[in-house]
Amino acid sequence: MFIGAAYYPELWDESEIEKDIVVCKTVGLNTLRIGEFAWSSMEPEEGRFNWGWLDHVMDRLHAAGISVILCTPTCTPPRWLMNRYPETRQLTDEGRRVEVSSRLHPCKSSPIMREKNRIIVTEMARRYGHHPALIGWQIDNELFPVDNGCHCELCRENFRRYLKERFGTIEALNEAFGMDRWSLTYDSFEDVLPPKRSEWAHPSLKSAWFSFVSQLTISYAEEQADILHAHSDAPVSTDMMPMNQFPSYDLMKKMDIVQINHYDTADSIARTVFLYNFMRPIKERPFWVTETQVGWNGNIFSASGYRPVGNCYVNTWLPFAYGAEMNLYWLFRAHAAGHELAHGAIVSSCGRPYRVTEEVTAAAKDIDKCESFLKNSGIKAKIAFHNSSLAENMFIAAPMLEKFNYSEMVRQIFAPLRQYNTDIIDPSHSLDGYEVVISPFLSCIDHETKERIRKWVETGGTWIVGPMSDFLDENLKKCTDAPYYFLEDMAGVYTVYQKPIANSVFKAVWKDGTPAGISTCYDAYRPVSSSPLIVYAGDEFDGYAAVTEKKVGKGKVILLGTVLDAPDLMKLVGREPIAKATSNLCLVERSGKENGIIVLELENKKGMVDLEGQYTDLISGRTLTGRIDVQPYEVLVLRKQ
């Protein structure tokens, strides 16, 4: 189990580095991530490399028993490079080259930028690819396409080429985007310009532009991955951000391991469970958390508010409970100058520990007690939950509902599943082994995914789908034959009415008359070859179905015309939780050579879990059974006896 932090030794005197190593050993850190912003220290002048300082740091850390993730520094090319080759800077949609003032400013289409990347990455890989301290590579830093991408002529040309490869002819693009609307038809691909952030841009164009920028960014990372793979056996990846608009599955295709950064606040740390359940299924190998906050977030001021006692402790534990083998904080030592001056850290800029440092140490010791259990058990899920990067991209381009946020909505729907082992998956993921799949707001379902789901349902799966699923194609064009492309037929309904509104106005009941909680968009169905499970009660949709069920082969399709409250959704899921527990507890069932349950309290209040059978809490050594009180931010690692 790797616990550590991001570290910037290029900023500190050699004597300070020796002190920092002592602190790492005292706190319980065994891993440091270095190099990500250090290009100017590695190559102070074009073609003149300076590796002495990094050689010393790598050797000293190895001697101290501290592992290293080495980062390529391509997020922050040095000023000499971007001044000598101004075309390597992004061009804003207002026509201005960005200043060399922060980070993430390179143009990813620039041949010069790509060549300079290849040179520095190759030099690093050849020198350190087999260093004994090295356990992995991080490419660049947080490659999420920010600020609407680069609008230079080369990026525009590449975008037009992307569209031509995708559609073939301009007539096909006009038809796919529906450009006859408002007489917006293009005469040629040369007419196409990327959307500006300030304009009311066409939703299909916005979505296509982001897809292009995403693929450009992925190629930018993959180019470096190929170099690192050629010169090193250490696993290669890039640290992703928790915004699924950028396609995580595509980015990870050439990577060996999933790396993720997150900065959830103290009162939203339970949201992180969603993120970890999404990261875990992407690769078979355990994922790495490469950044999370230790005390407070910050830039020019500290942010995110107070973190109560225990919050850092449980945040250290959280990824390990959900299948990670690494948790690294940002950062080890607070910066003494420059950007992010107010950000929290393991120790202050003068090297003194913060109060939360004690929680990191406590967690590191407790995780060490449980290492055998964590290594010898895994997470097997029978429930899957779709989280689509394409859907998120579409709903950003065209939200459809007032103030609608796809990411927030799917997290809200997922919340009651925090006491079940659940894999959160992209629609491209295999469905083998799952018994239930939940697909809310899956706006576009391509042919391959549709056939995968159909075959899985026919062999016995339960598909809970909707609302607002299967109503757009990949170009944000609605179906014109029916409200859905294929769901009416597969679910056995006729959609009589639709109300795409985001407020709670309708009432509904189960077949037995029990009230059902519903909200956010309302489709009214007339069952054709299905059975109504929940019907509208009163108002204009009275008697029409809000939720239906149809048997398909050995399985069934449950179609939701609205968002259900948590208890009603869980009735449809039809599975018992890992254990009976209060809603503030998250539960993870672990199985393998060792078996048990991990219990985490994430809301800073007391809770209760009711255990069947006897367990040993590996942290406290207690034998536990029956009703167990759980304290605020407490973690129980329960190995079954």
Residue-wise burial string across 472-489, b where 16 or more C-beta atoms lie within 10 A, e elsewhere: bbebbbeeeeebbbebbe
Residue 578: the pLDDT is: 98
Task: Kindly state the percentage of the chain with pLDDT values over 70.
Answer: 100
Residue 292: the pLDDT is: 95
Contact between residue 245 and residue 396 where contact means Cβ atoms under 8 Å apart: yes
Inter-CA distances, 447 with 10, 250, 616, Å? 51, 18, 49
**Nearest by Cα to 68 from 114, 98, 32:** 32
> Is the per-residue pLDDT at 541 higher than 80?
yes
**Nearest by Cα to 145 from 88, 212, 196:** 212
Contact between residue 414 and residue 440 where contact means Cβ atoms under 8 Å apart: no
Residue 504: the pLDDT is: 85
**Nearest by Cα to 344 from 385, 296, 416:** 296
Residue 539: the pLDDT is: 87
Residue 234: the pLDDT is: 98
Residue 329: the pLDDT is: 97
Place of tokens 């869980």: 570
Q: Which CATH class is domain 581-640?
A: mainly beta
Phi then psi for 11, rounded to 5 degrees?
-95, -5
Contact between residue 375 and residue 414 where contact means Cβ atoms under 8 Å apart: no
Residue 101: the pLDDT is: 87
Place of tokens 């290029």: 10
* Residue partners of 399: CB distance under 8 A and separation at least 6: 405
Instruction: Provide the token pair at 443.
Output: 């706006």
Residue 304 Rama label (left phi>0; alpha psi -120 to 50; beta): left
pLDDT digits (tens, 9 = 90+) for 62-90: 999 999 999 999 999 999 999 999 999 99
Residue 102: the pLDDT is: 85
* Residue partners of 108: CB distance under 8 A and separation at least 6: 114, 150, 155, 216, 217, 219, 220
Strands (DSSP E) contained in 201-258 are: 236-237, 239-240
Query: What is the distance between the alpha carbons of residues 28 and 626, in angstroms, rounded to a whole number?
Result: 34
Residue 204: the pLDDT is: 97
* Residue partners of 541: CB distance under 8 A and separation at least 6: 497, 506, 522, 524
Residue 305: the pLDDT is: 79
Provide the whole-model pTM: 0.96
* Residue partners of 82: CB distance under 8 A and separation at least 6: 88, 89, 100, 105, 106
Average pLDDT, stretch 86-112? 94
Helix (H) or strand (E) holding 296: none
CATH H-level superfamily of 2-146+217-375: Glycosidases (3.20.20.80)
Query: What is the distance between the alpha carbons of residues 456 and 382, in angstroms, rounded to a whole number?
Result: 13
Q: Which fold has domain 383-573?
A: Rossmann fold (3.40.50)
> Is the per-residue pLDDT at 50 higher than 90?
yes
Domain ranges of the chain: 2-146+217-375, 383-573, 581-640
Tell me which amino acid residue 79 is.
R
Inter-CA distances, 45 with 78, 122, 510, Å? 9, 17, 72
**Nearest by Cα to 77 from 68, 67, 69, 87:** 87
| Domains 2-146+217-375 and 383-573 are alike in CATH topology | no
Residue 306: the pLDDT is: 82
Averaged pLDDT of the chain: 96
Average pLDDT, stretch 547-566? 98
Contact between residue 73 and residue 35 where contact means Cβ atoms under 8 Å apart: yes
pLDDT digits (tens, 9 = 90+) for 138-148: 999 999 877 78
Comparing 38-47, 96-105, 156-165, which segment has the lowest mean pLDDT?
Answer: 96-105
The DSSP secondary structure of 3-69, one letter per residue, reads EEEE--GGGS-HHHHHHHHHHHHHHT--EEEE-TT-HHHH-SBTTB---HHHHHHHHHHHHTT-EEE
Half-sphere exposure of 171 (CA within 13 A, CB side): 0
Q: Is the peptide bond before 467 cis (omega within 30 degrees of 0)?
A: yes
Number of CB atoms found within 10 A of residue 433's CB: 10
Contact between residue 262 and residue 272 where contact means Cβ atoms under 8 Å apart: yes
Task: Kindly state the percentage of the chain with pLDDT values over 90.
Answer: 92
Phi then psi for 142, rounded to 5 degrees?
45, 70
pLDDT digits (tens, 9 = 90+) for 121-168: 999 999 999 999 999 999 999 998 777 899 999 999 999 999 999 999
